[in-house]
Amino acid sequence: MAAIHFIDGEKGGVGKSLFARVMLQYCIDNKLLYELVEADQSNPDVGAFYPDNHKIAVFSESERKAYEADEIFDLALENSVIVNLPAQVYPAVTDWIERNQILEISGKNKVKIHKWFVCSGGYDSLQLFMQSLERFEKKIKHIFVRNFGLCDDWKHIDENQELNDLIKTYKVPVIDFPKFSYRERNILDAKRINFSEAKNYGELGILGKQRLHRFLKQAFEEIEKAKIWNPPAASITPPSEKVDTANSNGKVATKK
């Protein structure tokens, strides 16, 4: 079933872009159909890493620009759509969803809506997650992504009773996004190299490639724990063991 996957976090600097890039690579390595929509106009770096066949959308409360995000739903009628959201876009996205009755028509058109909420562990990030969860209740499937690259101690989150009650009530999957080593990330960011290209990039070295492999393997396992994508069991293999015949920069043309 087709779906819209919002990569959210509301605040800047919580790791949305890196998580979006990993999810794209997850689709590529598992031969899953997807469309990428880059909605972060101030820092469109996900589209820069995977430039081919991606679309651009703008969420705006301005009436003149209110229709520019409509293509997202049109694309979702055919494929799963991964939307990289900018920071501080909650009011505009909510306006688009409610004004167009997206939740009602998505059910009629068999389009699921998921929000992967990347959290840094900070107070503001947590409050924004709970706000979104309560606003949309069970109408949008939320996945709480704990970014261990920015916070390695989540005890204060584990002890937050209000959060735990909401997660239990709305049956929210909680996944742990692993830390990506600074050296490898800096090299990839500086060269604008996506994960497909990085697997054979000599400057990383043997150990660097091994760290990259381990990071992707752990991240993919966490994504699978959410049980949202559900790729065929035969396609789930460690990233570096794939024979990648897909276009590493764009949409993967395979069976649904």
Q: How far is CA 17 from CA 26, 129, 224, 230, in A?
A: 14, 17, 19, 22
According to DSSP, residue 4 is labeled E
Q: Cα–Cα distances in Å, from 146 out to 25, 77, 121, 152, 155?
A: 19, 30, 7, 9, 12
Residue 213: the pLDDT is 96
- The number of beta carbons lying within 10 Å of the beta carbon of residue 109 is 11
Q: Could you give the CA distance from residue 27 to residue 19 in angstroms, rounded to a whole number? A: 13
- Residue 239: which pLDDT band, with cuts at 50, 70 and 90? low
Q: How confident is the model at residue 187 (pLDDT cuts 50, 70, 90)?
A: very high
Average pLDDT over every residue of 72-89: 93
CA 96, CA 113: separation in Å to the nearest integer? 13
Min mean pLDDT across 55-64, 183-192, 212-221 is at: 55-64
Q: Is the pLDDT of residue 251 over 50?
A: no
pLDDT per residue as tens digits for the range 21-74: 999 999 999 999 999 999 988 888 899 999 887 899 989 877 677 688 999 999
Extended beta strands in the chain, E state:
3-8, 35-38, 55-56, 81-84, 112-119, 141-147, 174-177
pTM score of the predicted model: 0.88
State percent of the chain over pLDDT 70.
89
Supply the pLDDT for residue 65: 74
CB 143 within 8 A of CB 175: yes
